[in-house]
């Protein structure tokens, strides 16, 4: 069955510059807020640390019947039996990851321009594309050039795969991003910087679903 985003919000579990919140604590909050698809992003620490965190988050996602995708590491996704992996431009190619993970795992690919998007689409191995940054973002040390809503709309016109937008998206800009062609919106800072990540997810999901209803795009 072809992959589709279950909701217009794709939360990424990454405490970032909030050391007072662990990955597992943040995952608890995000899942309690109603997320049905989450991505685990661990950018520091050892591989052992990543595996331990991934195993703990997998227990939580299984408990709440949510789909877990692991960022960057196809090996860890396979080890913990996550639903799939999300790959950056410097990670394994989607084709290589597909050979490793097999036909049933979800593979997402981050892209930052139309050429990269076309390459990922033409590989035939990706289930969905991420595109951005749409706006300025604080979630990456060296972010790629801002693509804006026009860039997103351009990629949407050429993309037969589900498309998730990422980069500096807030509750205030969420509607504009969805209406520009994104099937879902990935969020990090809008969750981690909120006093209550659980309430942040609930609010974002409500706003996103409202846009889907208004625009006539049915959620799965």
Distances (CA, A) of 200 to 35, 44, 109, 180: 11, 25, 26, 22
41 is catalytic: yes
Structure-block tokens of residue 127: 């289930």
Phi-psi region of 79 (alpha: psi -120 to 50; beta: other; left: phi over 0): alpha
Rounded-to-integer distance, Cα 66 and Cα 84, Å: 12
Q: Which phi and psi (to 5°) does residue 9 adopt? A: -115, 130
Closest CA to 42 of 83, 72, 8: 72
Among residues 36, 41, 58, 198, the one annotated as catalytic is 41
**β-sheet bridge partners, residue 71:** 86
**Which segments of the chain are extended strands (E)?**
9-13, 37-40, 67-71, 84-87, 106-111, 128-131, 163-165, 184-187
DSSP H stretches of helix in 5-67: 23-32, 47-63
Rounded-to-integer distance, Cα 187 and Cα 1, Å: 26
Among residues 110, 139, 189, 198, the one annotated as catalytic is 110
User: At what angle are helices 197-215 and 23-32 packed, to 10 degrees?
Assistant: 40
43 is catalytic: no
18 is catalytic: no
Among residues 18, 21, 118, 140, the one annotated as catalytic is 140
Active site residues: 41, 110, 140
């Amino acid at each position: 069955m072809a992959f589709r985003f279950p909701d217009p919000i794709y939360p990424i579990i990454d405490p970032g510059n909030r050391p007072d919140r662990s990955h597992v604590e943040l995952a608890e909050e995000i899942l309690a807020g109603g997320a049905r698809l989450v991505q685990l992003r661990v950018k520091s620490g050892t591989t052992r640390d990543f595996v331990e965190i991934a195993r703990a988050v997998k227990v939580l996602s299984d408990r709440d019947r949510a789909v877990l995708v692991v960022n960057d590491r196809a090996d860890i996704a396979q080890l913990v039996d996550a639903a799939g992996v999300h790959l950056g431009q410097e990670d394994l190619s989607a084709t290589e990851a597909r050979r490793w993970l097999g036909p049933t795992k979800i593979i997402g690919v981050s892209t930052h321009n139309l050429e990269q998007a076309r390459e990922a689409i033409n590989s035939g191995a990706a289930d969905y594309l991420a595109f951005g940054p749409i706006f300025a973002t604080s979630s990456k040390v060296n972010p790629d050039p801002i693509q804006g809503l026009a860039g997103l709309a351009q990629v949407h016109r050429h993309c037969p795969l589900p498309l998730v937008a990422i980069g500096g998206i807030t509750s205030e800009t969420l509607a504009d991003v969805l209406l520009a062609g994104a099937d879902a919106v990935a969020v990090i800072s809008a969750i981690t910087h909120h006093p209550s990540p659980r309430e942040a997810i609930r609010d974002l999901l409500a706003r996103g679903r409202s846009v889907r209803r208004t625009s006539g795009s049915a959620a799965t």
